[in-house]
């Protein structure tokens, strides 16, 4: 793409994003929403049932040779349906997603009980209490923690939360993970479960997590307009290998904080993780297979590494823009340093803007990726590991517009 072409594309993208958001949110002649929100509550509020969700469309331009770009193509992204309810101190919460290419996933599905003293117990497919969750990013574009299993991640299990003044302690146990064809976010998987891949080197991978324990301790603090949370997280599990019938181990530790004051916000996180695998002879223990049913269904990641994340946001109220009530500017950056000698680091950076217009939320992301598999496609197929593919150590660029209607 020439130096002249890039600014022109960007100007057209920004203009189209603002126009579409304002157009979709306009209601000078009010009419019923195309998808009405359904809810019911008892007179005393002790019992309630609520149905909602979202429908999102996506447009992107990818600046690499193997991508087929169509400037006029606005594609279906996902349709998410959610249900929430309560009955006195019991409650339920679930989310099911229909994705493009006929894929479906369970985001979460749980029942819970809130005790009078503030304790909370959840049973079902619950979010893992680890790090900044569920979203350690400002933009629509997922970053490196997501591809390693540290963002928006849920699994079948039991979670317990206990308040300690300004502190909150969460503990969870997960005997197994969500099956590969029904999980929304990546997790360790076997080659037979993650069949949609392009690398023959994945054939020997036959690992899955079992009996995972997560702990998260965080403290809310702040004064003079500051609202912050800082904490630490630990996770550990067995890693069962179906070929050798032996258990390896996995552990991860994180320090994390979220900061906000006025229009400014920031997220900072550092993660150390390590897989000690029991692979059969001839299969390297330096990498482990990850995947879900999403855009990158199967890929190898370094078995040991360090992850860093720094996200900054600035929100502006915009009453002068009619139905566009606020605009958030942000920059998300993440990096993966791998233990294996001569395996170069992976990096991602997203510069973007988020438009809030009633039930319409629009993201415009400009993302650069280096040694990150989704950026460069097959040209960068070893990005999370050895960086030996043809696109290794090169920066790739992608624009992404996502428009969602929430009901």
Q: DSSP letter string over 153-198?
A: -EEEEEEEEEEETTEEEEEEEESSPPPTTTBSS-EE-BTTT-----
Residues contacting residue 68 through CB under 8 Å, at least 6 positions apart: none
Average pLDDT over residues 357-373: 95
Write down the pLDDT at residue 202: 67
For residue 22, pLDDT beyond 90: no
- Residue that wins the pLDDT comparison between 71 and 183: 183
Query: What per-residue confidence (pLDDT) applies to 294?
Result: 61
Q: Residue range 244-250: average pLDDT?
A: 96
Domains of the chain: 5-26+38-406 (2.40.160.10)
The distance from CA 371 to its chain's CA centroid, rounded to whole angstroms, is 19
Report pLDDT digits (tens) over 263-320: 999 999 999 999 999 999 989 999 999 988 765 678 899 999 999 999 999 999 998 8
* pLDDT interval class at 197 (50, 70, 90): low
Show the tokens assigned to 366. 């400009």
Average pLDDT score over residue span 172-197? 87
pLDDT at position 181 is 85
> What is this structure's pTM?
0.89
Condensed to tens digits (0 to 9), the pLDDT of residues 201-240 reads 566 789 999 999 999 999 999 888 899 999 999 999 999 9
pLDDT of residue 64: 87
The DSSP secondary structure of 50-106, one letter per residue, reads: EEEEEEEEEEEEE-STT----TT--EEEEEEEEEEEEETTEEEEEEEEEETTTEEEE
Average pLDDT of the chain?
89
Distance of alpha carbon 179 from alpha carbon 100, whole angstroms: 19
Looking at residue 240, what is its pLDDT?
A: 97
The reported pLDDT for the residue numbered 72 is 64
Residue 136 near residue 311 (C-beta atoms within 8 A)? yes
Which H helix or E strand runs over 267? strand 264-276
Confidence of residue 369 (pLDDT cuts 50, 70, 90): very high
* pLDDT tens, position by position, 123-170: 999 999 999 988 899 999 999 999 999 999 999 999 999 999 999 999
DSSP state of 200: G
Confidence of residue 14 (pLDDT cuts 50, 70, 90): low
């Amino acid at each position: 793409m020439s130096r002249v072409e890039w600014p022109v594309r960007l100007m057209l993208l920004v203009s189209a994003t603002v126009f579409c958001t304002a157009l979709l949110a306009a209601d000078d002649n009010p009419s019923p929403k195309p998808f009405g929100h359904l809810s019911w509550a008892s007179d005393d509020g002790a019992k309630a049932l609520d149905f909602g969700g979202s429908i999102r469309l996506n447009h992107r331009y990818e600046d690499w040779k193997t991508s087929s770009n169509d400037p006029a193509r606005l594609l279906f992204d996902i349709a998410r349906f959610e249900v929430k309810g309560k009955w006195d101190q019991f409650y339920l919460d679930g989310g099911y997603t229909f994705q493009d290419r006929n894929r479906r996933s369970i985001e979460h599905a749980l029942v819970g009980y809130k005790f009078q003293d503030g304790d909370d117990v959840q049973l079902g497919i619950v979010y893992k209490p680890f790090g900044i969750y569920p979203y350690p990013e400002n933009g629509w574009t997922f970053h490196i923690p997501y591809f390693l299993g540290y963002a928006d991640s849920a699994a079948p299990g039991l979670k317990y939360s206990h308040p300690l003044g300004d502190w909150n302690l969460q503990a969870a146990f997960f005997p197994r993970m969500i099956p590969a064809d029904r999980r929304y976010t990546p997790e360790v998987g076997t080659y037979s479960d993650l069949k949609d891949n392009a690398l023959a080197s994945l054939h020997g991978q036959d690992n899955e997590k079992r009996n995972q324990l997560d702990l998260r301790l965080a403290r809310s603090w702040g004064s003079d307009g500051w609202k912050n949370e800082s904490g630490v997280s630990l996770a550990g599990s067995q890693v069962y290998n179906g070929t050798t019938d032996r258990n390896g181990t996995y552990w991860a530790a994180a320090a994390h904080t979220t900061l906000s004051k006025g229009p400014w916000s920031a997220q900072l996180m550092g993660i150390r993780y390590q897989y000690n695998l029991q692979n059969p002879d001839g299969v390297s223990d330096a990498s482990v297979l990850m995947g879900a049913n999403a855009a990158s269904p199967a890929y190898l990641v370094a078995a040991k590494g360090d992850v860093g994340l720094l996200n900054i946001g600035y929100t502006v109220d915009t009453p002068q823009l009619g139905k566009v009530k606020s605009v958030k500017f942000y920059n998300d950056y993440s990096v993966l340093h791998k233990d294996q000698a001569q395996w170069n680091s992976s990096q991602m950076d997203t510069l973007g803007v988020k438009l809030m217009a009633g039930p319409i939320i629009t993201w415009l992301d400009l993302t650069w990726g280096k040694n990150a598999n989704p950026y460069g496609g097959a040209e960068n197929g070893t990005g999370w590991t050895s960086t030996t593919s043809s696109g290794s150590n090169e920066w790739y660029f992608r624009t992404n517009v996502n428009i969602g209607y929430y009901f």
